[in-house]
Amino acid sequence: MTAAAPKLDGALSVLDVHTAIYQTLRDLKNLGDVVLTPETPFKALGMTSLEMLTLAFELEDRWGIVIKDAYLDDFETIGEASATVLELVASRAG
Amino acid sequence: MQPRRVVITGIGCITPLGPDVPTFWRRLQAGESAIRPIERTLVGDTVRFPAAEVPDYEPRRHFKGPELFLRDPFAQFALIAAREAIADAGITFTADPAGTAIVLGTGGGGETSREHAAVQLFAEKRGRCHPMLVPKTNNQAAVGLVSMEHGITGPAFVVSTGCAASTHAIAQAFDLIRFGRATSAITGGSEASILYSVARAFGAVQVLASDTCRPFSRDRTGMVLGEGAGVLVLEELAHARARGARIHAELLGAGMSADARDPVHPSPSGPAQAMRAALADARLRPEAIDHINAHGTGTVANDRAETAAIRDVFGAAADRIAVSATKSMHGHMFGGTGAVEAIAAVLALRHGVAPPTANYLGPDPECDLDYVPNVCRSRPIAHALSNSFAFGGLNVVLAFGHADAAEAAR
């Protein structure tokens, strides 16, 4: 729960973002044996809007970014969300 | 109506001294202080101060799934302490869920989440809050969560009187049982606010210690922030006996008062009035008290006023009372501190051991009682008081009796 801006090591990979999203989804949804991939649609996991917002807050806190609410409605898959996170982190670095 | 007798059948705590009651009591007797120098950084500013944190706290060990996101640490601590207290009491609620009350104390409730949201709003300009921020930070959040986790449906509310909150909460739970609104109660309180903003705010009042917490000692410099929770299971004596419960101690009386003087400076008159009221409520003479768990914050003003109040109430008999200030070890846990100190008093009665006042350097001419300096003391304890005083001049004192008297009652 630290609110300090996280360090940006410049080496954030798509895999790091996927791993963070998988972990948060498993915390939120008790997914058991369900296999998560970048192609997994959030709808298939039964994500509510509250859960999508909670996911967004977790990713925002982790990387010091702001994900616009409008993006949240557009994310269909884990891969789409991670691509946006990478873009936001890159634009913050610049 | 003759008030019913109330006993303590369960205790639980998570404190800077450790995750449960056995660890707490072992380290308390050993005089180990959990106070360390720490720092908090927010939006580029760092504040350094001594504090007593719950060690190695990992929410994932206690909570899973969405619980992790939707519970402020103050509620997490209360839930963990309640689980231990309820298991310790061996009590179940399915037969009569409405017969159990929940009364918990907290000073600031969800301060951790509130500070976090403030940074998101004002520093990071995110322009939105998490939809669960309000229910997560409400002072009554912990009460609701305990009711949900254990299926308890009786009277349930929060008491918020800062540093005295959980002691006031216990006093309310006590009356709910005494006067027939409940047969048992989950009571105590919690706090989790070792935060940048809280350190800055209390620093501004100039009450924070520069080194450590040395209650009643010469060269004391102030109080030290702590965190955690204490929860007790109170039960009507007949109810406890009917189910064969083990009795830790009897809660004999409570006394409450207001100084009506000053927002921050304590006066001896209010605390003395509360101690007298507790003795009268418990039908005890001053000479009957063997041990006091003092409010003992370590500030020059509190310890001087509390000493004068004890002198005023007990006179010469004050010299034979073992006065312990356990904040020297677990810090000032605000809304959780009174319940944890009540648990310390109950354990002192049960085991015949007065815990020490740690970090004691030597006498202060204005503090001339027996503070059990640095080393615990074995001695029979039949009756004990636990004192709590809050900003605003709000005071509450509990009187406890050894379990033997309750066990002997027929």
Residues A25-71 have pLDDT tens digits of 999 988 888 999 999 999 999 999 889 999 999 999 999 898 988 78
Half-sphere exposure of B221 (CA within 13 A, CB side): 10
Which chain A residue shows the shortest CA-CA distance from B126? A66
Q: What's the CA gap between B222 and B387, in Å, rounded? A: 18
- Decide if pLDDT at B69 tops 80: yes
Q: Buried (b) or exposed (e) across A46-81, using 16+ Cβ within 10 A? A: ebeeebbbbbbbbbbbebbbbbeeebbeebebbbbb
Which chain A positions have a beta carbon within 8 Å of B130's beta carbon?
53-54, 57
Q: Which residues contact B332 (CB under 8 A, 6 or more apart)?
A: B163, B213, B223, B224, B225, B226, B297
Task: Identify the CA nearest to B271 among candidates B226, B303, B315, B230.
Answer: B303
Tell me, what's the pLDDT at B407?
A: 82
Cβ separation of B65 and A28 shorter than 8 Å? yes
- Decide if pLDDT at B1 tops 80: no
Q: Say what the alpha-carbon torsion angle B397, B403, B404, B407 is, to the nearest 10 degrees.
A: 120
Q: Are strands B156-159 and B100-105 parallel, antiparallel or unpaired?
A: parallel
Tell me, what's the pLDDT at A94?
A: 54
Residue ranges of E strands in B192-227: 225-226
Min Cα distance A39 → chain B (Å) is 23
Cβ separation of A27 and B66 shorter than 8 Å? yes
Q: Which residues contact B261 (CB under 8 A, 6 or more apart)?
A: B267, B269, B270, B393
Mean pLDDT, chain A, as a whole number? 85
How is chain B split into domains, by residue range? 7-403
Which chain A positions have a beta carbon within 8 Å of B66's beta carbon?
27-28, 51, 54
Q: Which amino acid is at B280?
A: A
Q: How confident is the model at residue A5 (pLDDT cuts 50, 70, 90)?
A: very low
Min Cα distance A29 → chain B (Å) is 6
Residue ranges of E strands in A17-77: none
Asked if the interface predicted TM-score (ipTM) of this complex is over 0.85, the answer is: no
Helices (H), B11-130: 21-29, 67-70, 73-89, 111-118
- Decide if pLDDT at B116 tops 90: yes
Cβ separation of A27 and B112 shorter than 8 Å? no
Average pLDDT over residues B358-369: 98
Task: Specify the higher pLDDT residue, B213 or A69.
Answer: B213
CB pairs A-B closer than 8 Å? 44
Which chain A positions have a beta carbon within 8 Å of B119's beta carbon?
3
Tell me, what's the pLDDT at B296?
A: 98
Q: What's the CA gap between B45 and B320, in Å, rounded? A: 48
Average pLDDT over residues B222-239: 98
Q: Are strands B394-402 and B383-390 parallel, antiparallel or unpaired?
A: antiparallel
Q: What's the CA gap between B18 and B319, in Å, rounded? A: 32
Q: Which amino acid is at B351?
A: H
Residues 3-32 of A with CB under 8 A from B: 3-4, 27-30
Domain B7-403 classification at class level: alpha beta
pLDDT digits (tens, 9 = 90+) for B371-404: 999 999 999 999 999 999 999 999 999 999 999 9
Catalytic residue (choose from B13, B163, B367, B376): B163
Helices (H), B180-336: 196-204, 237-242, 269-282, 300-314, 327-330
How many angstroms separate the Cα of B339 from the Cα of each of B141, B366, B407?
18, 28, 23
Q: Does B410 touch chain A (CB under 8 A)?
A: no
Which chain A residue shows the shortest CA-CA distance from B69? A54
Q: Is B300 exposed, middle or buried (0-12, 13-18, 19+ CB in 10 A)?
A: middle
In terms of pTM, does the model score above 0.80? yes
Cβ separation of B119 and A3 shorter than 8 Å? yes
**Sheet with strand B36-42: strands edge to edge:** B36-42, B45-52, B225-226
H or E element in which residue B49 lies:
strand B45-52
Task: Check: CB of residue B143 under 8 Å from CB of residue B172.
Answer: no
Cβ separation of B68 and A27 shorter than 8 Å? yes
pLDDT digits (tens, 9 = 90+) for B299-342: 999 999 999 999 999 999 999 999 999 999 999 999 999 999 99
Q: Write down the architecture of domain A14-93 according to CATH.
A: Orthogonal Bundle (1.10)
Q: Does B378 touch chain A (CB under 8 A)?
A: no
Q: How confident is the model at residue A6 (pLDDT cuts 50, 70, 90)?
A: very low
B163 in catalytic set: yes
Min Cα distance B5 → chain A (Å) is 44
Catalytic residue (choose from B291, B295, B383, B402): B295
Cβ separation of A28 and B120 shorter than 8 Å? no
Q: Does B112 touch chain A (CB under 8 A)?
A: yes
pLDDT digits (tens, 9 = 90+) for B141-178: 999 999 999 999 999 999 999 999 999 999 999 999 99
Q: What's the CA gap between A11 and B52, in Å, rounded? A: 36
Q: Does B119 touch chain A (CB under 8 A)?
A: yes
Q: What's the CA gap between A17 and B12, in Å, rounded? A: 40
Min Cα distance A74 → chain B (Å) is 18
How is chain A split into domains, by residue range? 14-93
Min Cα distance B131 → chain A (Å) is 7
B295 in catalytic set: yes
Task: Among B119, B126, B132, select the one facing A66 at the smallest CB separation.
Answer: B126
Cβ separation of B131 and A50 shorter than 8 Å? yes
